[in-house]
């Protein structure tokens, strides 16, 4: 599954862990919590944005829909499917952008271009994309594929030694 994709590690995240990290992000943002609204980068940013918005008592939630992945293949082009119209008028000033992850920065650059004055926050950050966000909770290596709870189902797991081809 990782062959040819550059991923050598998998980092599974449970619903409880994601919720805890979203609340931690809200705590970090609390001092600057006078946001006009939240812009969720969809699809991955939908759940984190909802949790952060709840914790900060922000009622206005917009979405910006981007497509860069094709399965496990990272794209280099961002297709903006829907813009966050309410936040566009003032280039995102006073708005909070929330995404689940900043990876190579391809999506973050496109969103930043549309909303350069917004505060950009993610739950997870990889080294290549980290400089593009203002706030994040957990850094993971560039060669790690994060398995979010919405991408997982309960199945029997193999011991790590078997995943590497046995002993």
Q: Which residues are catalytic?
A: 99-100, 103
Return the structure tokens found at 152.
């997982």
Report d(CA 161, CA 79) in Å as an integer. 39
b vs e for 110-131, b when ≥16 Cβ sit within 10 Å of the residue's Cβ? bbbebbeebbbbbbbbbeebbe
- Tell me how far CA of residue 45 lies from CA of 8, 102, 108, 121, 131, in angstroms: 24, 10, 12, 10, 18
Q: How many CB atoms lie within 10 A of CB 5?
A: 13
Report d(CA 10, CA 3) in Å as an integer. 13
Report d(CA 90, CA 66) in Å as an integer. 20
């Amino acid at each position: 599954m990782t062959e040819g994709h550059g991923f050598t590690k998998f980092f599974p995240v449970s619903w409880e862990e994601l919720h805890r990290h979203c609340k931690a992000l809200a705590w970090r943002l609390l001092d600057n919590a006078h946001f006009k609204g939240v812009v969720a980068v969809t699809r991955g940013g939908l759940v984190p944005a909802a949790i952060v918005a709840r914790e900060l008592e922000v009622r206005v939630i917009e979405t910006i829909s981007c497509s860069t992945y094709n399965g496990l293949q990272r794209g280099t082009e961002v297709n903006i499917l829907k813009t966050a119209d309410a936040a566009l008028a003032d280039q995102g000033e006073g708005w909070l952008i929330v995404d689940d992850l900043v990876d190579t920065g391809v999506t973050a650059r496109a969103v930043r271009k549309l909303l350069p004055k917004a505060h950009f926050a993610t739950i997870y950050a990889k080294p290549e994309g980290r400089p593009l966000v203002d706030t994040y909770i957990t850094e993971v290596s560039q060669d790690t594929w994060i398995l979010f709870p919405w991408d997982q189902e309960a199945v029997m797991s193999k011991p790590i030694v078997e995943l590497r081809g046995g002993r």
